[in-house]
């Protein structure tokens, strides 16, 4: 699966990079950056959890 973040929606709560630090990391302002757009299957469950827990709905999995 692939994952993207809508920068316009992300408000930097940090839940995604707390739940899936292998795939998301904070930039210098605390907003999330995707480090692996093509998600390895080992991290898929964590990324889905991050999608479900993003309060802004900014994480999209395709």
- In terms of CB distance, is 29 or 38 closer to ligand SF4? 29
Q: How far is the CB of 21 from ligand SF4 (least distance, A)?
A: 11
Q: How far is the CB of 60 from ligand SF4 (least distance, A)?
A: 10
Among the listed residues 24, 2, 8, the one whose alpha carbon sits nearest the alpha carbon of residue 53: 24
Q: How far is the CB of 57 from ligand SF4 (least distance, A)?
A: 8
Which residues here bind ligand SF4, judged by CB under 6 A? 5, 10-16, 32, 54, 56, 58-59
For residues 3-35, b (16+ Cβ closer than 10 Å) or e, as one string? bebeeeebeebebbbebbeebbeeeeeebbebe
């Amino acid at each position: 699966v692939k994952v993207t973040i809508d920068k316009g929606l992300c408000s930097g709560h940090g839940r995604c990079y707390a739940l899936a630090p292998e795939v998301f990391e904070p930039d210098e302002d605390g907003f999330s950056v995707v480090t692996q757009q093509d998600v390895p299957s080992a991290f898929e469950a964590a990324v889905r959890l991050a999608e479900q827990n993003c309060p802004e709905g900014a994480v999209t999995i395709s």
